Amino acid sequence: MKIQYLAVVFIIIMLPISLVFSEYISAQVETVSLQISFDTKLDNATYDAIKAFQINTINNATSDLADSKIRDIEAAANAFYKSIGTSFNMVGYDTESLSNYVPALVFTLYDGFYIHSQFENTLDDETMDNIKPGSTYDGTEGQILGLKPYISYSCRYQSGNIDVTITYSLDNYITVQGIDASGNGINIAGYLISNISNSTENSIRYRDVTIEKEPALTQQLYKNDVRYIYTKINGQRYYKEQGKDDKWFYISNNRVETIEEEFSETENDMAYRYYKEALEFRDALETAGITSLTPDDAVDENGDPLTDAVITNADGEVIYSFMEGPNSNQPIFDYGTSKNNAIELPDSKFNEHRLAVIRYTIEKNLSVALANYNNGTYDFRMPKLSEEDWATIMNNVSLISFLQGISIGGKIYNGYSVINNNKNEEVVTENSIYIIDDPTDSSGHYHRITHKGLNSYLSSYPNAIGMFNIEFERRSIETSANERRYYYPYRQLGCYDCYVLQTGNDTINTDSNIYEYVDSCGNRLAKLYYTALGRERYSMYKIYRTTDFIQQFYNNSP
């Protein structure tokens, strides 16, 4: 056969194949492009939602209370749907249609989480009749979109007489409820901290640093050059203008509310209380026998060991195993014997177990929520989140969003996004503390704790203080003339080297941690940091605290 004939035959065979290949590659490129575009839109909507939550909670003094928190989360969920509806409107989806492809939004908070999803309303007639006007329930029957009940990071333990449920949090705070080793009822809560000693009436030692009662704190509100004494108790800030006989007040929903009670104008003892009560809490746990518990004692609601528990997806693939490794028989609440094996350190047995409980609780409930969600067109299922995503989720307030079931050409889109919020009123992490060189000078600066040479730099600033990072966020207030004013509680600027160039920060070694780093920086910087960490954590809202807790801070002196 002549070569010309072979060429014609080759062209006849290969041309259709080339056209098909070209079309296939083009479709794959378009699919990948659409997936990247959808990932970006989902990330942006998730960021908008978590930012809305941050703004609402910072400017809402009652954001820690259950009803107020639910309102803030529902507002954040609305921000998510509006944002994603706007961004997807260009490709033919509106907010209402997109909600059918969002099986869940998960808001992870301090000691538990909410799942915002569609669910079947099964209220009976009696309950329907008792629903109060103005409640969040709108009377809709069948599938409704809203928040499911709050789920705590809790785990049950059984050992001998002990039968307790322990609720964990995003830091080293726990709540213990149930029956102790002596068969008595127990309901206690507190922080787990090692290396505390030498408690006196005015000071206490922690990691070889003396923590003392501080002078009263001051900050600015909306009036220039006017400073207010303030104290923060159970999440609520109380203010009084310096040198004035005016009453103390607090800010609620941007408005000033005066109170009859008075607080100390000379000292702030929150940090001292944080360490002192942690020492007392340790004694209470030991007396109750709780410090003997191990991961092997963890059980589910039926009393079956959790060490055997696994979570699988619809295909039978194991997504997560509750407890892996050979150390499940070691005590969870091991306080350690030195600064290097303290219970509050990130690599302690307690923190390893705490993170396992948090992850298992989220994975279990979320996989059930996704499996039960069905819009009639797609089988929703729990994706396998990366370890980096779980590290984000378990160490700060976060939002996990899911978008599944939308066709993007050659495949069905199945995406998720995880965005955390490191400036919120929910949790004080080890990285939430900034150091102000001079809190009375508005032209001063605040610094990260890892700022190189910070300890030497602060030698010129005798009034330096550690402060929670949200104190540098803008807030709002309505004056008596119904005028909205904005202000910054602390008006110092972020250190340029720390926050812009980021070249002025030390890198903490992977085999070290923030506590070891702070200990190596010198006694003064360590004292500033540990005082601020204790003060801010102790000042946060805790649900178990009653009005008696606040009353102990009242100043009854004439």
pLDDT in tens, 212-236: 999 999 998 887 788 899 999 998 8
**458 and 490 inside one domain:** yes
CA distances (Å), origin 485, targets 52, 55, 72: 19, 15, 22
**162 and 261 inside one domain:** no
Q: Token pair for residue 220?
A: 């600015």
DSSP letter (8 states) at residue 290: G
d(CA 489, CA 216): 15
**498 and 523 inside one domain:** yes
Residues 6+ apart with CB under 8 A from 451: 435, 457, 495, 497, 498, 504, 505, 506
Overall average pLDDT of the 402-431 stretch: 86
Q: Are 61 and 257 in contact (CB under 8 A)?
A: no
> According to the model, what pLDDT value does residue 133 have?
45
- Ordered DSSP codes for 190-235: EE---SEE---SSEEEETTEEEEPEEPEEEE-SSTT-EEEEEEETT
Least confident of 367-381, 401-415, 500-514: 367-381
Statement: residue 289 has pLDDT above 70: yes
Share the mean pLDDT of the chain: 84
**286 and 255 inside one domain:** no
**514 and 437 inside one domain:** yes
Domain count for the chain: 2
Overall average pLDDT of the 337-358 stretch: 91
> According to the model, what pLDDT value does residue 557 have?
43
Range of the domain at 170: 154-194+275-297
Q: Name the nearest CA neighbour of 247 among 258, 238, 236, 255.
A: 258
In this structure, which amino acid lies at residue 513? N
Does 222 fall in a domain? yes
Q: Residue 484 forms beta bridges with which residues?
A: 478
- Count Cα atoms within 13 angstroms, Cβ side, for 256: 19
Statement: residue 527 has pLDDT above 60: yes
d(CA 480, CA 247): 15
Statement: residue 190 has pLDDT above 60: yes
> According to the model, what pLDDT value does residue 408 have?
77
**468 and 524 inside one domain:** yes
Does 94 fall in a domain? no
**178 and 225 inside one domain:** no
Q: Residue 238 forms beta bridges with which residues?
A: 231
Does 525 fall in a domain? yes
d(CA 395, CA 485): 34
Q: Name the nearest CA neighbour of 166 among 194, 182, 190.
A: 190
Beta strand 445-448 pairing with 493-494: parallel
Percent residues over pLDDT 70 in the chain:
82
Overall average pLDDT of the 189-194 stretch: 96
Does 186 fall in a domain? yes
SS3 of 378-422: CECCCCCCCHHHHHHHCCCEEEEEEEEEEECCCCEEEEEEEEEEC
**465 and 501 inside one domain:** yes
**505 and 523 inside one domain:** yes
> According to the model, what pLDDT value does residue 373 have?
74
> According to the model, what pLDDT value does residue 132 have?
46
Please report, to the nearest 10 degrees, the dihedral formed by the alpha carbons of residues 502, 429, 205, 238 taken in order. Answer: 110
Q: At CA 173, angle to CA 171 and CA 177, rounded to 5?
A: 140
The residue among 178 and 122 whose pLDDT is bigger is 178
> According to the model, what pLDDT value does residue 377 have?
61
Q: Are 333 and 285 in contact (CB under 8 A)?
A: yes
Q: Name the nearest CA neighbour of 164 among 289, 324, 335.
A: 289
pLDDT band at 68 (very low <50, low <70, confident <90, very high): confident
Q: Name the nearest CA neighbour of 117 among 392, 368, 315.
A: 368
Handedness of CA 463, 464, 470, 474 (dihedral sign): positive
Overall average pLDDT of the 232-244 stretch: 90
| Top-ranked range on mean pLDDT: pick from 49-63, 89-103, 348-362 | 348-362
Residues 6+ apart with CB under 8 A from 309: 300, 321, 322, 360
Q: Name the nearest CA neighbour of 212 among 272, 157, 295.
A: 272
pLDDT digits (tens, 9 = 90+) for 450-485: 998 898 899 899 999 999 999 998 888 887 777 888
> According to the model, what pLDDT value does residue 171 have?
93
Does 353 fall in a domain? no
pTM as predicted: 0.87
**444 and 521 inside one domain:** yes
**161 and 251 inside one domain:** no
In this structure, which amino acid lies at residue 251? I
- Ordered DSSP codes for 151-200: EE-EEEEEETTEEEEEE--SSSEEEEEEE-TTS-EEEEEEE---SEE---
d(CA 72, CA 401): 17
Find the DSSP H helices in 437-498: 454-457, 496
Does 288 fall in a domain? yes
> According to the model, what pLDDT value does residue 59 have?
73
Does 244 fall in a domain? yes
> According to the model, what pLDDT value does residue 406 have?
82
Phi/psi class of residue 499: alpha, beta or left (left: φ > 0; alpha: ψ in -120 to 50)?
Answer: alpha
Q: Are 433 and 449 in contact (CB under 8 A)?
A: yes
Q: Look at the block and give the residue holding tokens 């008596």.
A: 480
Residues 6+ apart with CB under 8 A from 59: 254, 475, 476
> According to the model, what pLDDT value does residue 199 have?
83
Q: Name the nearest CA neighbour of 380 among 362, 360, 403.
A: 403
Statement: residue 128 has pLDDT above 60: no
Phi, psi (deg, nearest 5) at residue 179 = -120, 130
pLDDT band at 383 (very low <50, low <70, confident <90, very high): confident
**160 and 256 inside one domain:** no
CA 112, distance to chain mean position in Å, is: 9
Q: Token pair for residue 489?
A: 């509680």
pLDDT digits (tens, 9 = 90+) for 134-177: 444 555 555 667 888 899 999 999 999 999 999 999 999 999 99
Q: Look at the block and give the residue holding tokens 């390893």.
A: 352
Does 398 fall in a domain? no
> According to the model, what pLDDT value does residue 496 have?
87
